[in-house]
Amino acid sequence: MDTRGKAVELSEEVTKLLIGFGTEMDELYRRFRELRVLEDDPSFQSALLKVEHAFFMVVQSTNILREQLGLLRVASEKGGLY
């Protein structure tokens, strides 16, 4: 069964969702960063910094997913694996 068309369709749907998700994540990250900068307690600043780092990891994973979705499209056009 050739699933290329459906896979490309699904990848386009996911890509659109990732754009919105990225925008929301960026805003939430900004808000946590602002809290960290305003925080006086070094211990709690450290906790906030760890949350910021977790956001960074999510963004990295999202970028990898977007890249793989792009490669999926290329593979579907070539008709074979990359």
What confidence tens digit (pLDDT) does each residue in 26-39 have? Answer: 999 999 999 999 99
Angle of CA points 72, 76, 81, to nearest 5° = 75
For residue 80, CA distances in Å to 3, 14, 24, 70, 77 come to: 12, 22, 35, 14, 8
Supply the range of the domain harboring residue 15.
4-78
* Domains of the chain: total: 1
> In degrees rounded to 5, what are phi and psi of residue 12?
-65, -40
Q: Considering the entire predicted model, what is its pTM?
A: 0.79
Give the per-residue pLDDT at 75: 92
pLDDT-derived band of residue 80, with 50, 70 and 90 as boundaries? low
What confidence tens digit (pLDDT) does each residue in 21-79 have? Answer: 999 999 999 999 999 999 999 999 999 999 999 999 999 999 999 999 999 999 998 86
